[in-house]
Amino acid sequence: MEIITGALIVGLGYMFGSLTFSIWITKYLKNVDVRDSGSKHATTTNTIRQAGFFAGSIVLVLDILKGFIPTYLAITFGPDWSIPLTATFAVIGHCWPIFAEFRGGMGLATAGGALIAIMPISFLVALAVLIVLTLVIKHSARAAMVFGFLLPFILYILNGTPNKIYLGIGMGVVLIFRFYSDYNRKYRELWLDRDVEDGKV
């Protein structure tokens, strides 16, 4: 029974992650696919570019909840081993959603929601580390990859249990793999990462 419950919660994590709010909201407000321009990703920043700051803020909150809700359910109702798997699969669902031809976002907000569920302080520390890395490296994708590598160590330093560290490893690997696709992208804005096109800045 424990195995069935855990498997269902892990599957629920992927399904929650696959809820593509940025695509749906931008389509509703602007009748465009958020992935057709800008960074080509279903992200908060790309939603802001195409549908405005308010729409982007809603997407950010909903994407965080996609990680928080299933991880919280795993903590509350699932076996211990389901917690890192549920969080990891929520991030996988966000990046490769079944409801959107497996073309989704980058996973940071959903990972942040999972961190809030397991240890709220970890979310604040991880956010601070990500901001510092982005300021130092000056490249969002490469900073996120380094962050993915450091995430399990951050949780370890914060006295995380083995399951929390495994969660950091799982989500970190997904973030590294996902952001590698943008490793060579050029940026002209630090936070709203738009491509440099045709030599323009």
CB 20 within 8 A of CB 63: no
CB 26 within 8 A of CB 106: no
Q: Provide the residue range defining the domain that includes 75.
A: 2-182
Distance (Å) of CA 89 to CA 97, 106, 129, 162: 10, 13, 23, 18
Say what the pLDDT of residue 39 is: 78
C-alpha 130/C-alpha 165 separation (Å) is: 18
C-alpha 133/C-alpha 20 separation (Å) is: 27
Number of domains into which the chain is organized: 1
What pTM does this model have? 0.90
Asked whether residue 117 is domain-assigned, the answer is yes
Asked whether residue 159 is domain-assigned, the answer is yes
Amino acid at site 80: D
Which residue bears the tokens 């079944």? Answer: 98
Position 118 pLDDT exceeds 90 = yes
Q: Dump pLDDT digits (tens) for 120-131.
A: 999 999 999 999
Q: Dump pLDDT digits (tens) for 74-88.
A: 999 999 999 999 999
Among positive and negative, which fits the CA dihedral 119, 124, 127, 128?
A: negative
Amino acid at site 77: F
C-alpha 78/C-alpha 86 separation (Å) is: 10
Asked whether residue 139 is domain-assigned, the answer is yes
Asked whether residue 197 is domain-assigned, the answer is no
Q: Angle of helix 162-179 relative to helix 82-95, nearest 10 degrees? A: 20
Q: What are the b/e assignments for 89-105, b being 16+ CB within 10 Å?
A: bbbbbbbbbeebeeebb
Work out the average pLDDT over 54-74: 96
Asked whether residue 143 is domain-assigned, the answer is yes
Work out the average pLDDT over 26-38: 88
The alpha carbon of residue 55 and the mean position of all alpha carbons in its chain are separated, in whole angstroms, by 17
Say what the pLDDT of residue 196 is: 45
Say what the pLDDT of residue 159 is: 86
Residues in the chain: 201
What 3-state class would DSSP assign to 191? coil
Asked whether residue 57 is domain-assigned, the answer is yes
| Range scoring the smallest mean pLDDT among 57-61, 173-177, 187-191 | 187-191
CB 107 within 8 A of CB 141: no
Say what the pLDDT of residue 40 is: 83
